[in-house]
Amino acid sequence: MLFFGNTYRALRFFPWVVGLVTAVAYVAAMPGIDISELAWVWMLPMALWSLTRPGWKQWLLVSFVCMWAAKISVLIWLRHISPPLGWVGLIFATGYFALYPTLWLAWLRWLFPKTLRAPLGTRLVIQLGLAGFWVLLEWVQGWLFTGCPWLLLADTQWLRPAVLSLCTFGGPWGLSFAIVLFNIGLARYAARLLFERDRLLDAAPGPMSVLRQVCPEFYLGVAPIFLGMFFFYQNLLQLRETSVPLFTAAAVQTDFDPNAKWDAQRLQENTAVVRDLTLAAGKLTKEKPLFLAGQSRPEPAKGNSSPDLILWPEAALPYDVFDPDFQGFVTRLAKETGSTLLFGGISYRDLPDGKRGYDNGIYVATETGVAEEFYSKRHLVPFGEYIPFPFNKLPLRTIVPVSDANLVGERDDPLPVPVNGGTLLAGTLVCYEDIFPAMGRDLALRGADFIAVVTNDAWYGREAGAYQHAAHCAVLAASLQLPVIRCGNNGWSGVFNPLGRGEAVTDENGSVYFRGAGRFEVIGVPAPLRKPTFYLRHGDWVVTFSALLTLWTFLRNRRWRRTRDEE
């Protein structure tokens, strides 16, 4: 009796062990820990448990609790944003984000057990439908309530350029689809070994016996990986033949406290920091590409070796960009450095109702002045930069401590940027706009030669948040085959080449968290030689395909009541 009692107690905790293993693998695969291989197997424990047909209440409880815990672990850096409100946001935001994988796991529980006795055609439809439903949920998360597609499953592969090559075909959605497809194919192969082994061994010898032991679902899951290797080889050869150095750039990391930056008492001090770092950035060379605050300023660059472009982070200084004094300040910096400045800033304008608003934008300055054309952020952060309806009726304030209204930008054309003796078109994105694949694609369609992202990752503390944010740029670069440069107040600054391979600016200890400036080279394909990727031409076709697969799968398996075979 003691044996059976211990066995019962062990089995009672088995579902939570399965959920815990799933959650840990999910967290470890995400940027920050970066064991990206786990993304290809993290669904396996839940898939195998579903074959035992656990009760729905237990399944949903374990799924939601474990995925909520996983989301909290991944987004724990949210607590740094305007504490203690950050803790409240962490709990509610992660609870909301956990609903999406929970819905998918419910879909898994309903469909995957059917594959034990279903014919091949039904099994393949279920596998495709599971992958399609995951992508559909990711897309809904990026659209519903203004959307926040933070950390798609594809982003786990941001350090794997060979795997990112799948994005040239289907964008981030295509890579997420491939990862789920492999997970389910592997689960089907494991299920055959665990649940169908006796039947396979008892089969009469002969050609049909060999065929019965083949697992088509596993080969279907592996197929996109081989397709990705083919794309990577083709892209690599093409880029070797057509890519050239476009320009050199330097990123200025101010490392300001994101709240104190708006403090008028610190304005002169912060202005001096920006000035000193910018002048140092203008003197960085290929041989000395890094400057850290506190060091003596580098020797002046000889000849034409200074950076062509100097980047400032989002809203680097809280001056009105079109104030004459500030324009004189940035114009003098551009002249002294001999570089074009592409900087994050704010500009104010009066509204028809008599109120005042400001644009959080990206501006271009040369030795002749600040260009009139600028980009204003189009996708504002709910509760961060504006209070969405109906919450605007409550006594709430935005996280950004500015009383004026943050205006929504309207310009969606790339900015002309003088660099390297010519002019290139910069597709500009502010802050978390780079996590929306359609925004980057829209800029590429409008002729952007490269994508420039300015952000303020200092909100995230010094944890995984900056790496998670940067991961989206790697996927974006691979999807469009355009270089992506980025500059943060603190965090990941640097460049991603058209294959998605990143080069971060780091201090002598290899950390992305520092105050200073770093130089890097930007490689790309000139416009006349550039070939648009399949994703650039056809957009989110994988999402449409996934929606059709989801509908097809539902119609083929629409009987919810268990059959005798499922009892």
In a domain, 235, yes or no: yes
pTM value is 0.93
Longest dimension (CA), the chain: 88
Beta strands 369-370 and 356-366, pairing class:
antiparallel
- Regarding whether 424 and 307 lie in a shared domain, the answer is yes
Report phi then psi at 420, rounded to 5: 55, 40
> Which tokens hold the place of 558?
């629409």
Can you tell me whether residue 426 is helix, strand or coil?
Answer: strand
Give the residue numbers spanning the domain of 41: 11-240+542-558
| Residue whose structure tokens are 């355009």 | 482
Do 431 and 349 sit in the same domain of this protein?
A: yes
Structure confidence at residue 381 (pLDDT): 85
- Asked if 250 and 311 count as a contact pair (C-beta separation under 8 A), the reply is yes
Helix (H) or strand (E) holding 366: strand 356-366
The secondary structure of residue 101, as a DSSP letter, is H
- What's the pLDDT at 458? 85
In a domain, 566, yes or no: no
Query: Do 251 and 282 fall within a single domain?
Result: yes
SS3 384: coil
Tally of domains in the chain: 2
Please check whether residue 278 lies inside any domain of the structure: yes
- Looking at the fold, whether 332 and 398 belong to one and the same domain comes out as yes
Rounded-to-integer distance, Cα 539 and Cα 542, Å: 8
Do 179 and 254 belong to one domain? no
Task: Report the pLDDT value the prediction gives residue 103, as an integer from 0 to 100.
Answer: 98
pLDDT of residue 8: 43
Q: Is residue 567 part of a domain?
A: no
Spans in the chain with pLDDT lower than 70: 1-12, 197-213, 300-304, 389-397, 401, 403, 559-567
Residue type, 477: A
**Which CATH number goes with the domain that contains 442?**
3.60.110.10
* Partner residues linked to 418 by β-bridges: 423
Please indicate, yes or no, whether residues 324 and 433 belong to a single structural domain of this protein: yes
Q: Is residue 123 part of a domain?
A: yes
Residue 34 included in any domain: yes
Q: Are residues 233 and 259 in the same domain?
A: no
DSSP 288: S
Residue 128 lies in a domain: yes
Helical pair 120-141 and 216-242, crossing angle rounded to 10 deg:
50
Residue 326 and residue 226 in one domain: no
pLDDT given for residue 117 in this prediction:
86
- pLDDT recorded at residue 403: 65
Task: Name the strand (E) or helix (H) holding 17.
Answer: helix 2-29
Q: Are 266 and 383 contained in the same domain?
A: yes
The verdict on 287 and 149 lying in the same domain is no
d(CA 174, CA 164): 10
Does residue 338 lie in a domain region?
yes
**Same domain for 284 and 163?**
no
275 and 149 in one domain? no
Give me the pLDDT at residue 85, please. 80
Give the per-residue pLDDT at 208: 43
Q: Which of 444, 322, 329, 338 is nearest to 376 (CA)?
A: 322
